[in-house]
Amino acid sequence: MQTTYIWNKLNLRRNKVILSGLAFFLAAIPTFGQGMFGLTSSSGSDNKTLSYGFFLAAHNSTLQLKYTDAFLNPTSTNDFSNVRSIQPKFSPGFSLGFIGILRFHDQVSLMFSPKVGFYEYKTEVIYFNESLDPGLIQTPGDAEISGEGGIVEYSSEATMVELPLLFKYRSVRFNNTRMYWVGGASYQFRTKGQDEANVDDIVMTGQDVSIEAGMGFEIYFKYFKFAPEIRFSHGLMNAYQAENSLPELRDAISSIKRNSITLYLNFQ
């Protein structure tokens, strides 16, 4: 009979253990803030007209891509006839910045949070069975491709300076915690010039405007206020520059917009 090991049992229930631990941790954070520092912590400068802070953030970004009508027409004969599909992928990154808050009311304020973000955009292109550089072709995995087609992943990196201006609405404070919601717009520009970006396989412009919305909760400690937050960003401008992109992709894409999901750790 096979011996049963305790580590094998734990491995089978690993997902349940992780989820249970995460739920317990999130539920215990407000209680920890209240029990450790008392129920009337006054940190966070809630009564000041202007207050400041900083944040660290991790994001998952991708591109929202739209095909041209010609690419969707099966009778078209162009440079992209060897391309089966173009699929953007999510890629992780991080950012950091500062927080400036102008208080209008205990529950309403205006937040300016300039930051520097480090992004990598990945796009997976699936080709049909025509001539490709064997060094670029990857195993398709579970993708079904006719003949001797393959998958090529194109990527580009960008360091973006972002200037979000957001309205912030907070709930009434309950002990040492309160929920809040943010929404507004952000102007972004890339640090490298367009000439440097033109060497990428899929070329994008260096400026963008996005709308942002998110939610979080503030936890009051004795000397500072900690606020984890999740925020969604959707680019409004068409960032695609067709004339400098790869010939086989140039006329297959009509627009590209930047999207991201970001987890912020705010300290104030």
CA-based nearest residue to 203, from 155, 133, 252: 155
| Residues in contact with 39: Cβ distance below 8 Å, sequence separation at least 6, in sequence order | 175, 176
Q: Which uninterrupted H or E stretch holds 195?
A: helix 194-197
CA distance 173 to 175: 6
Digit-coded pLDDT (tens) for 44-96: 567 888 999 999 999 999 999 999 888 888 776 677 778 888 999 999 999 99
Fold that domain 42-72+90-121+157-267 belongs to in CATH: Porin (2.40.160)
Digit-coded pLDDT (tens) for 172-195: 988 889 999 999 999 999 998 888
pLDDT attached to residue 94 = 95
pLDDT attached to residue 195 = 87
Neighbours of 139 (CB within 10 A): 7
Q: Residues 181, 171: contact at Cβ < 8 Å? A: no
pLDDT attached to residue 20 = 55
Give 105's Cβ-side CA count (13 Å radius): 8
pLDDT attached to residue 63 = 94
Residue segments in the chain with a per-residue pLDDT below the cut of 50: 1-12, 14, 17-18, 22, 24-25, 32-38, 131, 134-148
Question: Looking only at Cα atoms, what is the longest distance across the chain?
Answer: 72
pLDDT attached to residue 82 = 82
**pTM score:** 0.76
**Would you list the domain boundaries of the chain?**
1-37, 42-72+90-121+157-267
pLDDT attached to residue 39 = 52
